[in-house]
Amino acid sequence: MFTHKSPEPSSSLVDQAAQSADVAIQSTQRMAHEALDSLAGAAQDARQQAVPLLHRATEQAGALAQRGIDSVRDASQQVRDKAQHASQNTVSYIRDEPVKAMLIAAATGAALMALISLMSSSRDHR
């Protein structure tokens, strides 16, 4: 009358589905690991390429800063030298021409006093 089907065929399908799922999971895991390994390798390559570039940029920045410092030092020394030369020339002129130097100093002082007087009187009128 009624015949019972054996549970083996449905269990076999379940086993096959489970096995297929396991294979798919393993394949996905393997692909994920390969992708991560590839990404890690690319990151390592990028780091290895970036390190020398960073060192070179640091060296260039240091050299540029040193050149700037040297330029400021040279310009400062030139200004000092010119000021000392002008001072020596002034002392020599005063020694050689004391009367002219006194007259020039007096005339310069009078001109400055006149200028200050004009500026203060124009301020008072405002």
Q: In which residue ranges of the chain is pLDDT below 50?
A: 1-2
pLDDT at 47: 86
Per-residue confidence (pLDDT) for residue 50, from 0 to 100: 85
Q: Are 96 and 104 in contact (CB under 8 A)?
A: no
Q: Residue 8's pLDDT is what?
A: 58
What integer pLDDT is reported at residue 15 of this predicted model?
86
**pLDDT at position 1:** 46
Identify the helix (H) or strand (E) that includes residue 111. Answer: helix 98-124
pLDDT at position 9 is 60
What is d(CA 116, CA 126) in angstroms, rounded to the nearest whole number?
Answer: 16
**d(C-alpha 65, C-alpha 71), whole Å:** 10
**What's 18-60 look like in SS3?**
HHHHHHHHHHHHHHHHHHHHHHHHHHHHHHHHHHHHHHHHHHH
Give the Cα separation of 83 and 40 in Å (integer).
64
pLDDT of res. 116: 93
Contact 92, 85 (CB under 8 A): no
